[in-house]
Structure formats: structure tokens, C-alpha cells
Amino acid sequence: MVGDLERGRQKVDWARAHMPILEGVRRRFENERPFDGLVVSMVLHVEAKTAALAMAIQAGGAKVHLAAGNPLSTDDDAVSALRAEGVHTLAEKGESLAAYRSAIDAMRDANPHVIVDDGADLVALVHNHPNGANRVRGSTEETTTGVTRLRAMERDGTLRFPAIDVNDAQMKHLFDNRYGTGQSTLDGIANATNLLIAGKVAVVAGYGWCGKGVASRLRGMGADVVVTEVDPVRALEARLEGFRVMPMLDAAAIADLIVTVTGNTGIVRSEHFRVMKDGCLLANSGHFDVEVSRTELEGMAVAHRPVRPHVVQYDFADGRKVYLLGEGRLINLAAGQGHPVEIMDLSFALQALSAEHIAKHGTKMAPKVHAVPEEIDQGVARAALAPFGVAIDEPTEEQRRYAKSWNLGT
């Protein structure tokens, strides 16, 4: 473990200084102590912004345990700062798969009342253990991938406690997925390669909220952006935004850079490697490292070797080479610093408030996937406007009645 405590503290202080919404929640938690006597286990990307969330929940009275949601995304300096604050943190950048898994096991063994999850890994784990879910009042989940898994468990009737779907809160996916993934994916690619984006043919696989963010940022940097999709509505949306849309087989043949953000598997595989141009860059910003098939890449290549930090070159028999960035794991965290701080302020304020909701009401909630309560989503939205100095109108009584009569929800 090579983390530096002073550097870690500086990083956490910087994050907290730019996370005013979460800091406001933390101050209220310090007074009200909604987690008094509770154990909270968290599996998240362990870095400075996550430290601010863990410390806010700890300030609310919880004993907090934290493990990494990805073996490459940890900031060891932040780990040092967390440990110094008494947060039980098991994470190390580049840890082995065995260490990564045993850290998540430890989160289950802490016997949590509340779970804060990313990718539903911990929720799945506690369900696979006979007593794992006994004390759990509920969980909060922040990724599209995790919510998909939770909904499948709800459909099968296996979900044993309520799970709050933070991902689908308006203040999450509209901002974190679009602007957070958009900016941080480009940061990660630039950091890994030091190459120019302008003028490149950049293929974005998937036009969900993350894909929209990545595509628009790439265009903003001067790339010629192509979108691939399986959903006809999203494909049309991308076309009407002005992007070229085509199947991956055609896109792969012209790409200088491919970024996957589908949340699905095997998006870039042998048939695509076969037609790629020499020097194509491959990056993933979806939650799991399954979007670019590393197994097929290794099977097809005659040799591979690291050529700079976060970049592995794969050589094919015909003399072409392609570069895989960040081992095909989330490039924004593997080679970058994750989402911008102000974006994580929104997402983690939602997480903290949703975790509080589970702590207070989880035992009375049905074992299914629940939306973030509207007052939480709206409260974070109002708080987020303040730093921009934006004031908005209040509807008049007449407008309220009119909206209600048409069920407009205002």
C-alpha cells in the first residue's frame, strides 16, 4: 500500500470544498445522527469524492466499511486518508482479483444494516450467503448495470430487501451519466494516450445517457463521431443529433478510436478486430470490463505488451496493431480521476440521503426496487442551483391547480 496520507487529506479536502450539497447533508447528519448504531457497507470506486461520502455517513453515526467496486479504480492516497479517519477501507489500486473479491466478502461479513452499492456486487453476494441478508434494511444502487441486476432479482422474486435505484433519479443520470461520464472518459483517454482527439473518427457504442455524454464531448473536441446502437429509438436520436449511425462492423473498419458505453457484453470482438485499421484505440466506459472482448483479442493477437501506462499494444499476424486502454476497464477511473467533483456532489448527496431513507424506513419498505423519493431528487436539484446563482420561479396557486388537474406533477 503506497498511499500518502498528506496527499490523501489534500485530495479529500479539495473534494469536500467543492461538494457543498454533500457537506450540507454531512452537517445535518452530525446533528441528527440518523445512522447511530448502524453498520453501513459500501462497495464503490474508492477515491477522494467517495471518501467525502463515507465520512458524511460516518458523521451520521455509522460504522462504515468500504471496498472497491473495481480493482483498478482505487486512489491509494484517499485510502490512507479514509483509514486515518477510522473508515474501515479495504482497497488498493491494481489489487489482485482474489484481494478484490475478499474485500467485498469482508463487506458482507461486517453484517451491514445498510448497503451502498455500485454494480449490485455486494447485494448479489449477501443473497448468496444463508445469513448474509439477515440484518440488511436495504441498499442503494448507483449504476445502470446494478439496477438491471436488481430488477432481474425483483422479477425472480429473490430480492430480500428494498433497493433504492439512485441511478434513475433525475439528478443522477441526467448529470452523472451524461456530463460526468462524458468529461471523465475523455480525461482518461487523453491521460492514457496523450493523443489528439480532433480529426479522429471516434466510434461510440451505445447511445444511452453515458453514450450521449461521450459522443457530444468527442464532437466538442473535434472528432468525427459515429454511433452504434441496437435500439432503433436511440439510433434515430443519435442520427437527429447529427451523428453518423452504422453497425459496428462498418464502424470498426473506419475507427481511430472506439469507446464502449453500452452496459452489455461482447460489443467489440473478433469479427471487428479483423477489420480494424492499424493503430485503432479501444476504450471502455461501461461498468464491467466485458464490452471489449479481451479474451478474443488475446486469442487473435500474436503478441501483446504494455507500451505506456494504461496502454497495451496487441499485434496481429498481418502486421496491424491495436491499443487497449486501461485493460478494458472503466477508462475514466483506470486512467483518470473519475467524474468531476461537482458531478459526484450531486450523485453522492443522493446516495447519502437515500441511505438515510433506508436506515429510517427500510424495514417498512417492500423488497423491491424503489425510486429515489421525489423530495430527495427535487431537494438536491434546488441545492445544486445555488452555486450557479440560479433562481427559479415558484408556480402560482392557479398554476399549481392547473398542473394538478392535468397531472403535470408540479
User: CA torsion, points 223, 288, 179, 249, in degrees to nearest 10?
Assistant: 30
- Of 39, 43, 44, 359, which lies in the binding site for ligand ADE, with binding defined by CB under 6 A? 44
Which three three-digit cell numbers place residue 387?
A: 452555486
Q: Does 45 bind ligand ADE (CB under 6 A)?
A: yes
- Site map for ligand ADE, 237-276, x if CB under 6 A? ----------------------------------------
Interaction of residue 49 with ligand ADE, rule CB under 6 A: yes
β-partners of residue 202 are: 225, 257
Element housing 383 (H / E): helix 374-385
Q: Candidates 46-54, 224-232, 354-362, 393-401: pick the segment binding ligand ADE (CB under 6 A).
A: 46-54
Residue nearest to ligand ADE (CB): 338
**Per CB under 6 A, 173 contacts ligand ADE:** no
One character per residue 79-118, x = contact with ligand ADE (rule: CB under 6 A): ---------------------------------------x
Contacts of 247 (CB under 8 A, 6+ apart): 228
- The angle at the Cα of 170, spanning 70 to 390, to the nearest 5 degrees, equals 115
Specify the stretch interacting with ligand ADE by CB under 6 A; choose among 12-20, 43-51, 83-91, 246-254: 43-51
Which of 159, 338, 352, 353 forms a contact with ligand ADE (CB under 6 A)?
338
State CA 380 to chain mean position distance: 18
Q: What is the sign, positive or negative, of the torsion defined by CA atoms of 367, 369, 371, 372?
A: positive
261 or 280, CB closer to ligand ADE? 261
- DSSP H helices, 110-268, are 121-127, 144-156, 170-172, 181-193, 209-220, 232-240, 248-254
Contacts of 132 (CB under 8 A, 6+ apart): 108, 125, 126
Q: Is 151 exposed, middle or buried (0-12, 13-18, 19+ CB in 10 A)?
A: middle
Minimum distance of ligand ADE from residue 143's CB (angstroms): 7
Q: Which string of DSSP letters, residue by residue, matches 59-103?
A: HTT-EEEEEESSTT---HHHHHHHHHTT-EEE--TT--HHHHHHH
Is position 339 an interface residue for ligand ADE (rule: CB under 6 A)? yes
Among 50, 70, 74, 80, binds ligand ADE (CB under 6 A): 50
**Please, which residue, 81 or 344, has the CB nearer to ligand ADE?**
344
Instruction: By CB under 6 A, tell whether 214 contacts ligand ADE.
Output: no
To the nearest whole angstrom, how small is the minimum distance from the Cβ of residue 46 to ligand ADE?
Answer: 8
- Phi, psi torsion values for 334, nearest 5 degrees: -70, -40
Q: Does 47 bind ligand ADE (CB under 6 A)?
A: yes
Positions touching ligand ADE (CB under 6 A) are 44-45, 47, 49-50, 118, 184, 332-333, 338-339, 344
